[in-house]
Amino acid sequence: MARVFAAQGRDLALCARRTDRLDELKAELTKKFPGINIAVATLDVNDHDEIPKVFNHFVAELGGIDRVIVNAGIGKGAPLGSGKLWANKATVETNLVAALVQIETALEIFKSAGSGHLVLISSVLGNKGVPGVKAAYAASKAGVSSLGESLRAEYSRGPIKVTVLEPGYIESEMTAKSASTMLMVDNESGVKAMVRAIERETGRAVVPSWPWAPLVWLLRRLPPRYAKRFA
């Protein structure tokens, strides 16, 4: 996404736990697109006190932030009741609790600025509880989608725009070990679909729409015992 937005002339604020790759990306994009500004910072979203510090550092460095994409997430998990509470707890804390802190921080910044665009990256699995190792993951993403829908209702007339994206399986390090390779969308196609939806400020979208929009329609209607096929 950073590369696509940079090609559109967007300034970027990039943060992650490991900044070595972000520093390399900054060097790559600065060389290719010298007209944009790129700020990089270290951030573990589970360190809640650091989120407002990093976000406001970006505001000061770039002169403001007009869009925040809440994208950090992990895919750890174990069947509920299997004795691996730590894995499920980590998933919910990173995907949902940390997302809430980022949302709160972004909204404060947007309210102060008078406008802004909040983008929440949920998942197609947020539409249906799934058994096994992805139970906590699906629940965490359902929570993200619910928060987004609440905010869409709250800011239905602006000045803050809210987008909830529900990606299917898109090729990445996180999905590399997924068993659902038949449904995997290549990284370039998946990213382009996400960026298009973000740029349009779409309220809620399944991305890419093919094959995932019809699959989500089906997933919502499947009896619980069949949901495992999407896990």
Q: Which residue(s) pair with 205 in the sheet?
A: 165
pLDDT at residue 99 tops 70 = yes
Q: How far apart are the first and last CA of the chain?
A: 25
Mean predicted confidence (pLDDT) in 65-83: 95
Across the chain, mean pLDDT equals 93
Which range of residues forms the domain containing residue 80?
67-230
Tokens at residue 185, please? Answer: 């969308």
pLDDT digits (tens, 9 = 90+) for 133-169: 999 999 999 999 999 999 999 999 999 999 999 998 8
Confidence at residue 28, expressed as pLDDT on a 0 to 100 scale: 97
Is the residue at 127 inside a domain?
Answer: yes
pLDDT of 91 reads 97
pLDDT in tens, 101-131: 999 999 999 999 999 999 999 999 999 988 8
Helix 85-92 and helix 135-154, axial crossing angle in degrees, nearest 10: 20
Please tell me the predicted confidence (pLDDT) of residue 169: 86
Candidate from 37-51, 68-82, 172-186 with smallest mean pLDDT: 172-186
6 part of a folded domain:
no
User: Cα–Cα distance between 131 and 225 in angstroms, integer?
Assistant: 9
Q: Is the dihedral of CA 7, 11, 17, 19 positive or negative?
A: positive
* Nearby residues of 67 by Cβ (< 8 Å), 6 or more positions away: 116, 117, 118, 119, 198
- Position of tokens 């699906």? 138
pLDDT of residue 115: 97
Name the packing angle between helices 98-113 and 50-62 (round to 10°). 40
Q: What is the CATH number of the domain that holds 99?
A: 3.40.50.720
Predicted confidence (pLDDT) per residue in 178-222, tens digit = 655 667 888 899 999 999 999 999 999 999 998 889 988 988 888
Tally the domains of the chain: 1
pLDDT at 12 over 80: yes
Catalytic residues: 137
Is position 7 within any domain?
A: no
**What is the Cα–Cα distance from 103 to 138, expressed in whole angstroms?**
19
In a domain, 155, yes or no: yes
- Report if residue 81 sits inside a domain: yes
Hey, what amino acid is at 32? K
In a domain, residue 55? The reply is no
Closest by CA position to 99, among listed 37, 142, 160: 142
36 inside domain: no
Query: Is 59 part of any domain?
Result: no
pLDDT at 175: 66
Nearest to 97 by CA among 53, 141, 65: 141
